Structure 1
Amino acid sequence: MTLPIATITPVTTPLTGEVTLPGSKSVTNRALLVAGLARGTSRLSGILRSDDTRYMMTALRAMGVEITETDETTVSVTGTGALRPASEPLFLGNAGTAMRFLTAAVALVDGTTVLTGDEHMQKRPIAPLLDTLRAIGVDATAPTGCPPVTVHGTGRFQPGEIEVSGTLSSQYISAIMMLAAMGDAPTRIRIGGGKIGAVGYLHITAAVMRAFGAQVDFPSDAEITIQPTDYTATDYAIEPDASAATYLWAAEALTGGRIDIGTAPEDMNQPDAKAHAIIAAFPDMPPEIHGAQMQDAIPTLAVLAAFNNTLVRFTGIENLRVKECDRIAAVHQGLTRIDPDLASVEGDDLIVHARPDLAGKTRDCLIDSHADHRIAMSFALAALRIHGVKIEDPDCVSKTFPAYWHVLRSLGVEVEITR
Structure 2
Amino acid sequence: MSSSAPIDPWPAPTVTGPLHAAVALPGSKSLTNRALILAALADGPSVVRRALRSRDTLLMAQALTSVGASVDTSGEDWVVTPLDGSVPGDHAAVDCGLAGTVMRFVPPVAGLVRGEVAFDGDAHMRNRPVGEVLSALSALGISIDSSVGTPGALPFTIAGTGTVPGGTVVIDASASSQFVSALLLAGARFDAGVDVRHDGKPIPSLPHIEMTIAMLRDRGVAVDDSDANRWAVAPGPIAAHDEAIEPDLSNAAPFLALAAVSGGAVTVRDWPRSTTQAGDALRDLLARMGCHVGLGDDGLTVTGPADGHHGLLGLEADLHDVGELAPAIAALCALASTPSHLTGIAHIRGHETDRLAALAAELGALGAAVVEHPDGLSIKPAPLSGGVFHTYADHRMAHAGVIIGAAVPGVLVENVSTTSKTFPDFAAFWSGLFSPGPV
What is the TM-score of this pair, normalised by structure 1?
A: 0.92
1:290 is matched with which residue: 318, 321, 325? 318
Q: Where in structure 1 are there 5+ consecutive unaligned residues?
A: 415-419
Is residue 364 from structure 1 mapped to residue 386 from structure 2 by the alignment?
yes
d(CA) in 2 for partners of 1:196, 1:320: 12
Superposition deviation, residue 47 in structure 1: 1.0
Superposition deviation, residue 413 in structure 1: 5.4
3-state SS of the aligned residue for 1:369? coil
Given that 1:313 and 1:349 are in contact with CA atoms closer than 8 Å, whether structure 2 keeps it comes out as yes
1:9–1:248 CA distance, 2 compared to 1 (3 A): closer
d(CA) in 1 for partners of 2:226, 2:178: 20
Is residue 84 from structure 1 mapped to residue 87 from structure 2 by the alignment?
yes
How far does the alpha carbon of each residue in 1:160-217 deviate from its partner, in whole angstroms, 9 at most, with x for none? 2211224131111100111211112242212214854322110111122222221222
> With CA pairs under 8 Å and 6+ residues apart, which has the higher RCO, 1 or 2?
1
Q: Where in structure 2 are there 5+ consecutive unaligned residues?
A: 291-311
What is the TM-score of this pair, normalised by structure 2?
A: 0.88
Is residue 61 from structure 1 mapped to residue 77 from structure 2 by the alignment?
no
Residue identity opposite 1:84 in structure 2: V
Is residue 49 from structure 1 mapped to residue 53 from structure 2 by the alignment?
yes
How far does the alpha carbon of each residue in 1:121-165 deviate from its partner, in whole angstroms, 9 at most, with x for none? 122222122111122122224331321121122222232221122
d(CA) in 2 for partners of 1:107, 1:317: 32
Superposition deviation, residue 364 in structure 1: 3.1
Q: Who is 1:247 aligned against? A: 254
* Structural mapping, 1:7-406, within 5 Å: 7-69=11-73, 71=75, 73-80=76-83, 82=85, 84-85=87-88, 87-142=91-146, 143-144=149-150, 145-193=152-200, 196-264=203-271, 266-283=273-290, 285=313, 287-339=315-367, 341-355=368-382, 357-358=383-384, 363-406=385-428
2:433 is matched with which residue: 407, 411, 416? 411
Given that 2:386 and 2:408 are in contact with CA atoms closer than 8 Å, whether structure 1 keeps it comes out as no
d(CA) in 2 for partners of 1:68, 1:279: 38
Superposition deviation, residue 2 in structure 1: 6.8
How far does the alpha carbon of each residue in 1:93-146 deviate from its partner, in whole angstroms, 9 at most, with x for none? 111111110122211122221011111212222212211112212222433132
Superposition deviation, residue 354 in structure 1: 2.8
1:103–1:354 CA distance, 2 compared to 1 (3 A): farther
Superposition deviation, residue 299 in structure 1: 0.3
How far does the alpha carbon of each residue in 1:288-308 deviate from its partner, in whole angstroms, 9 at most, with x for none? 211111111110000000122
After the TM superposition, which of the residue ranges 147-156 and 48-57 deviates more from structure 2?
147-156
d(CA) in 2 for partners of 1:399, 1:221: 33
Residue identity opposite 1:15 in structure 2: L
d(CA) in 1 for partners of 2:101, 2:66: 17
3-state SS of the aligned residue for 2:198? strand
3-state SS of the aligned residue for 1:261? strand
d(CA) in 1 for partners of 2:276, 2:6: 40
3-state SS of the aligned residue for 1:3? coil
Superposition deviation, residue 84 in structure 1: 2.4
Q: Who is 1:417 aligned against? A: none
Regions of 4+ moved over 3 Å:
80-83, 85-88, 193-197, 264-268, 283-287
3-state SS of the aligned residue for 1:370? coil
Given that 2:92 and 2:116 are in contact with CA atoms closer than 8 Å, whether structure 1 keeps it comes out as no
Given that 1:242 and 1:268 are in contact with CA atoms closer than 8 Å, whether structure 2 keeps it comes out as no
After the TM superposition, which of the residue ranges 207-216 and 100-109 deviates more from structure 2?
207-216
How far does the alpha carbon of each residue in 1:13-40 deviate from its partner, in whole angstroms, 9 at most, with x for none? 1221221111000110010111011122
3-state SS of the aligned residue for 1:221? coil
Residue identity opposite 2:192 in structure 1: A
Superposition deviation, residue 235 in structure 1: 1.1
How far does the alpha carbon of each residue in 1:328-378 deviate from its partner, in whole angstroms, 9 at most, with x for none? 111111101111x521112232222233x54xxxx2311111011110122
3-state SS of the aligned residue for 1:47? coil
**C-alpha RMSD over aligned residues:** 2.0
d(CA) in 2 for partners of 1:372, 1:342: 22
3-state SS of the aligned residue for 1:40? coil
1:2–1:263 CA distance, 2 compared to 1 (3 A): same
1:83–1:36 CA distance, 2 compared to 1 (3 A): farther
Residue identity opposite 1:293 in structure 2: D
d(CA) in 2 for partners of 1:314, 1:287: 7
1:66–1:9 CA distance, 2 compared to 1 (3 A): closer
d(CA) in 1 for partners of 2:411, 2:173: 39
3-state SS of the aligned residue for 1:240? coil
Given that 2:315 and 2:341 are in contact with CA atoms closer than 8 Å, whether structure 1 keeps it comes out as yes
d(CA) in 2 for partners of 1:9, 1:89: 41
d(CA) in 1 for partners of 2:356, 2:231: 30
3-state SS of the aligned residue for 2:190? coil
Given that 2:104 and 2:179 are in contact with CA atoms closer than 8 Å, whether structure 1 keeps it comes out as yes
Question: How many residues are aligned here?
Answer: 407
Residue identity opposite 1:34 in structure 2: L
Given that 1:37 and 1:83 are in contact with CA atoms closer than 8 Å, whether structure 2 keeps it comes out as no
Superposition deviation, residue 387 in structure 1: 1.2
